[in-house]
Amino acid sequence: MNVYDTANRLAQEIKQSEEYTNYKLAKQALNLNTSLKDKMSKFEQARYETQMIAMQTGKQDEAKYKEVQDLYTELIKIEDAKKYFEAETKFNIMIADVNKIIGEAIRDVIQ
């Protein structure tokens, strides 16, 4: 069996998965609402900046972290945003699980 064929089959199965489909639909719904899309972009930017500050300094910027929390609290009240966050989480868990399986399979040669 060719590893590339297996990888392509996995890619197809991911695209046909419930997690992928739900995430894609949630993202499309979010993109149809310009106001919500703008709020989500602001949230994503703040979340990214918070993560970068934490990585660079080793400390949490409390003001930036509170901004992220406040934006999330506001967004989670909106049904399309809530569905998006739920779908995103489930999709990311699936991808992390697949990465973990692959990582465990090759652990002996990468350590």
Number of domains, the chain: 1
Mean pLDDT of the chain: 95
- What pLDDT is recorded for position 95? 98
pTM of the model: 0.86
- What pLDDT is recorded for position 9? 97
Output the CA torsion sign for 100, 106, 107, 110: negative
- What pLDDT is recorded for position 61? 87
In the chain, what percentage of residues exceed pLDDT 70?
Answer: 99
> What tokens does 14 get?
């991911």
Distances (CA, A) of 94 to 48, 68, 101: 22, 25, 11
Q: How far is it, in rounded angstroms, from Cα 26 to Cα 86?
A: 9
Q: Exposed, middle or buried by CB within 10 Å (0-12, 13-18, 19+), for 29?
A: middle
Residues of the chain short of pLDDT 70, as ranges, are 1
- What pLDDT is recorded for position 7? 95
Q: How far is it, in rounded angstroms, from Cα 21 to Cα 87?
A: 9
Which residue range forms the structural domain that includes residue 72? Answer: 3-110
Specify the CATH number for the domain of residue 65.
1.20.1500.10
- What pLDDT is recorded for position 17? 98
Q: How far is it, in rounded angstroms, from Cα 61 to Cα 49?
A: 10
- What pLDDT is recorded for position 110? 87
- What pLDDT is recorded for position 38? 96
